[in-house]
């Protein structure tokens, strides 16, 4: 009888627990989770089929002919390119497997990026050794060389193609120091930025650099700091081009998210102590990163973008305190600022030309459409905006349901904008004067245990065959999400379905990045996981937290060749329909088809080595590519022939 009562009690508890869970506060949910949560298990995914997504009509393009204004094929900057688009022109590996995790003592909140040989570059924050930037080789992740020094964070390095030589050059900028280097680590120039030197014993979050971007029109490098300072340097020499660094006019933003209780912050900081050197009692790395990720306590809290068409610089930053009608030393409003770099004798000045108010603070990097006519940004709550770059007026606003984290991803084709919200990836269609929800990604990576939920961790990077993302399963309680297990995968661009997913990722507040090999790379910065371990106990997510870089290598690489050929065929077919109406766009389409075919040619050696492609089949494919290339001209019939050959 007693045994039956126990069984009945357990059944009642399991039935009532979800109802109780839905009706209690986040704190109450956490207590229930600690007591009753069960483990989630990974779903099995078969190898993905070809996507049904295809370009329709004329894509948006940059009219600038500079080599660095073209669509990129891998991450060269935070959010991929100077526009902050998070889009590559080539395909992402349809199937991947974890390869390696290295440099695990570094907390990497921004990056990494790559040169054309696949070498990897990143800048850690709070590093336990005196390094500003680290370079790794791609096969095993072994360290190549470092830039020694101290910073409060240097953002993501910028990799540009030298317009004169075609060589890749690396640019890095801290608060007080900037450098240009060759890919072998040779220093081209090393200069002071004109800002105050950082005290290594007392670095401030306000001295964090969000990285360098490129202003093509003046051949200049621009960097923005958390405290609102902006400096401008000559790309070739590092010479300061402003008489003094510019300062954005706003005040700091107050807390709009949440602060960790002192005991939770202490536990979380202990969990990442091996990644942050030896912070003194006054430093709180976990809360510092948490507030920056939420767009709080600084004037600027994310990267910025530069339009390759006009040269206008777009920075999301705070408004002055007096603008909110409550002079309390804090800004309740943020704005999208459009600045022009204006020649003034031998130097330049920065002029604010556009100010477009955004409710609350924003941690969203402005993302620019390829033609430079629209700027996309998110507010501190749950809305995204399309802004007219000419005057700052809003074309539309759209409620995506929760706060956007990181940046909006903006495609060149089909008016597609991807919103990375707190837990989801949502595809939005820009119809010009309004926006429409196309889909919410079906996050079904894990068979969820009790109280567990699938959610997005990082994303979305747009590829020609899908959306790369990092996903997780864990606990969502109010504004808080605590990952227990993580992995990476690909979402179909047409349907929003996850087509492939594999475990092995670490938590991150960086951005999803694709390398020249089509693989996925993550800069590990396990902010949410250490908070979850502090709140729920380490048993919730028992694997030790690690920093560094994790590489997910392509597998079944015949599928990458298949997808690249399919993407090239669809683009050629579409280009054939717009030859007369948009010949300039067609030229860019042909260039992108060339990028896809080059990707095919880079892949067969590894595909043959892994056994997914035979030498004989590759010879047939290579001959087909050569025939198709003969038809890549601005001619409808020729492009149609190329499409048929590549299908």
pLDDT tens-digit series, residues 57-68: 999 999 999 999
Q: Single out the residue of 141, 151, 43, 144 nearest to residue 100, CA to CA.
A: 141
- Alpha carbons 205 and 117: distance in angstroms, whole number: 34
Q: How far is C-alpha 394 from the chain's CA centre?
A: 24
Cα–Cα distances (Å) from 66 to 84, 160, 308, 378, 463, in that order, read 17, 11, 9, 29, 22
Average of per-residue pLDDT values in the chain: 92
Is residue 503 in some structural domain?
no
Is residue 586 in some structural domain?
yes
State pLDDT tens for residues 283-320.
788 988 888 777 678 899 889 999 999 999 999 998 99
Residue tagged 């229930």 (tokens): 32
Instruction: Say what the pLDDT of residue 201 is.
Output: 84
* Per-residue pLDDT at 442 exceeds 80: yes
Is residue 32 in some structural domain?
yes
Tokens of 142: 């072994």
Low-confidence winner among 80-94, 236-250, 285-299 (lowest mean pLDDT): 285-299
Residue tagged 């770099």 (tokens): 341
- Greater model confidence, 269 or 480: 269
Q: Is the peptide bond before 247 cis (omega within 30 degrees of 0)?
A: no
Is residue 635 in some structural domain?
yes
Q: Is 50 exposed, middle or buried (CB count within 10 Å of its CB: 0-12, 13-18, 19+)?
A: middle
Show the CA angle centred on residue 24, arms to residues 21 and 30, nearest 5°: 65
Considering only CA atoms, give the Rg of the chain. Answer: 24
* Per-residue pLDDT at 504 exceeds 80: yes
Highest mean pLDDT among 34-38, 208-212, 329-333: 208-212
Instruction: Say what the pLDDT of residue 139 is.
Output: 98
Instruction: Say what the pLDDT of residue 332 is.
Output: 82
Low-confidence winner among 256-270, 396-410, 450-464 (lowest mean pLDDT): 256-270
Is residue 277 in some structural domain?
no
Instruction: Say what the pLDDT of residue 293 is.
Output: 74
* Per-residue pLDDT at 143 exceeds 90: yes
- Alpha carbons 358 and 634: distance in angstroms, whole number: 43
Is residue 28 in some structural domain?
yes
Please report which confidence band the pLDDT of residue 214 belongs to, taking 50, 70 and 90 as the band edges.
very high
Sequence-distant (6+) residues with CB within 8 A of 325 are none
Sequence-distant (6+) residues with CB within 8 A of 113 are 75, 76, 77, 78, 120, 121, 122, 156, 157, 158, 159, 513
Across the range 470-492, mean pLDDT stands at 92
Show the CA angle centred on residue 71, arms to residues 69 and 77, nearest 5°: 75
Report DSSP letters for 198-242, one per residue. Answer: P-TTS--GGG-EEEEEEEGGGTEEEEEETTSEEEEEETTT--B-B
Across the range 99-107, mean pLDDT stands at 98
Q: How far is C-alpha 367 from the chain's CA centre?
A: 11
Please report which confidence band the pLDDT of residue 405 belongs to, taking 50, 70 and 90 as the band edges.
confident
* Per-residue pLDDT at 18 exceeds 60: no
Is residue 387 in some structural domain?
no
- Alpha carbons 417 and 377: distance in angstroms, whole number: 11
* Per-residue pLDDT at 630 exceeds 80: yes
- Greater model confidence, 151 or 19: 151
Q: Single out the residue of 328, 348, 319 nearest to residue 248, CA to CA.
A: 319
Is residue 226 in some structural domain?
no
Instruction: Say what the pLDDT of residue 289 is.
Output: 86
Tokens of 624: 């087909």
Number of folded domains that form the chain: 2
Residue tagged 């081209």 (tokens): 188
**How many residues are listed for the chain in this entry?**
647
- Alpha carbons 551 and 487: distance in angstroms, whole number: 11
Instruction: Say what the pLDDT of residue 12 is.
Output: 40
- Alpha carbons 385 and 375: distance in angstroms, whole number: 8
Instruction: Say what the pLDDT of residue 239 is.
Output: 98
Residue 587: domain span: 559-646
Residue tagged 């790559």 (tokens): 114
Q: 3-state DSSP call for residue 62?
A: coil
Across the range 112-134, mean pLDDT stands at 96
State pLDDT tens for residues 107-116.
999 989 999 9
Cα–Cα distances (Å) from 24 to 13, 141, 422, 534, in that order, read 15, 46, 21, 21
State pLDDT tens for residues 444-463.
999 999 989 999 999 899 99
Instruction: Say what the pLDDT of residue 257 is.
Output: 65
């Amino acid at each position: 009888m007693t045994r039956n009562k126990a069984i009945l009690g357990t059944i009642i508890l399991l039935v009532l627990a979800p109802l109780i869970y839905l009706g209690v506060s986040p704190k109450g949910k956490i207590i229930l989770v600690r007591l009753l949560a069960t483990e989630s298990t990974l779903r099995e995914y078969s190898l993905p089929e070809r996507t049904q997504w295809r370009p329709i009509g004329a894509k948006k393009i940059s009219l600038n002919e500079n080599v660095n204004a073209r669509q990129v094929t891998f991450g060269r900057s935070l959010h991929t390119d100077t526009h902050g688009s998070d889009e590559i022109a080539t395909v992402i590996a349809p199937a991947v497997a974890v390869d390696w995790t290295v440099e695990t003592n570094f907390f990497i909140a921004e990056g990494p990026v790559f040169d054309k040989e696949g070498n990897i570059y990143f800048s850690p924050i709070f590093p336990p050794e005196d390094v500003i930037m680290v370079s790794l080789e791609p096969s095993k992740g072994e360290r190549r060389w470092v830039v020694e020094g101290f910073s409060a964070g240097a953002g993501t390095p910028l990799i540009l193609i030298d317009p004169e030589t075609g060589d890749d050059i690396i640019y890095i900028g801290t608060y007080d120091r900037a450098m240009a280097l060759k890919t072998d680590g040779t220093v081209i120039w090393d200069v002071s930025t004109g800002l105050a030197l950082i005290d290594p014993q007392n670095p401030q979050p306000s001295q964090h650099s969000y990285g360098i971007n490129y202003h093509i029109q003046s051949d200049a490098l621009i960097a923005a700091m958390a405290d609102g300072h902006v400096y401008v340097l000559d790309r070739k020499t590092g010479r300061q081009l402003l008489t003094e660094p510019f300062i954005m006019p706003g005040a700091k933003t107050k807390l709009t998210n949440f602060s960790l209780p002192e005991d939770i912050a202490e536990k979380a900081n202990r969990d990442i102590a091996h990644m942050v050197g030896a912070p003194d009692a006054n430093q709180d790395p976990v809360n510092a990163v948490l507030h920056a990720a939420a767009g709080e306590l600084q004037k600027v809290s994310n990267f910025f973008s530069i339009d390759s068409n006009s040269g206008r610089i777009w920075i999301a930053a705070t408004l002055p305190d007096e603008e909110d009608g409550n002079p309390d030393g804090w800004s309740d409003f943020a704005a999208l600022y459009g600045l022009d770099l204006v020649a003034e004798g031998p130097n330049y000045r920065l002029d604010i030309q556009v100010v477009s108010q955004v409710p609350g603070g924003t941690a969203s990097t402005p993302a620019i459409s390829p033609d430079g006519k629209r700027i996309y940004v998110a507010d501190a709550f749950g809305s995204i905006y399309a802004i007219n770059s000419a005057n700052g007026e809003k074309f539309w606003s759209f409620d995506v349901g929760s706060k956007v984290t990181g940046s909006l991803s903006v495609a060149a084709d089909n008016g597609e904008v991807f919103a990375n919200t707190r837990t989801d990836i949502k595809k939005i269609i820009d119809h010009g004067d309004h926006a429409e929800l196309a889909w919410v990604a079906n996050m079904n990576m894990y068979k969820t245990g009790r109280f567990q939920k699938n959610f997005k961790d990082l994303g979305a990077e747009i590829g020609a065959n899908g959306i790369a993302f990092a996903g997780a399963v864990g606990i969502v309680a109010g504004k808080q999400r605590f990952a227990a297990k993580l992995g990476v995968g690909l979402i179909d661009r047409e349907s929003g379905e996850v087509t492939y997913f594999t475990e092995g990722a670490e938590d991150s507040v960086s951005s999803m990045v694709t390398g020249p090999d089509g693989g996925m790379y993550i800069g590990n910065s396990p902010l949410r996981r250490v908070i979850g371990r502090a709140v729920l106990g380490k048993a919730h997510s028992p694997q030790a937290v690690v920093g560094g870089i994790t590489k997910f290598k392509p597998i079944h690489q015949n599928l990458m060749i298949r997808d690249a050929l399919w993407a090239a065929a669809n683009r050629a077919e579409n280009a054939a329909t717009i030859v007369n109406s948009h010949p300039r766009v067609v030229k860019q389409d042909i260039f992108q088809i060339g990028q896809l075919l080059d990707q095919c040619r880079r892949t067969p050696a590894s595909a043959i080595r892994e056994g997914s492609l035979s030498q004989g089949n590759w010879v047939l494919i290579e001959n087909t590519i050569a025939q198709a290339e003969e038809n890549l001209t601005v001619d409808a019939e020729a492009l149609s022939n190329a499409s048929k050959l590549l299908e």
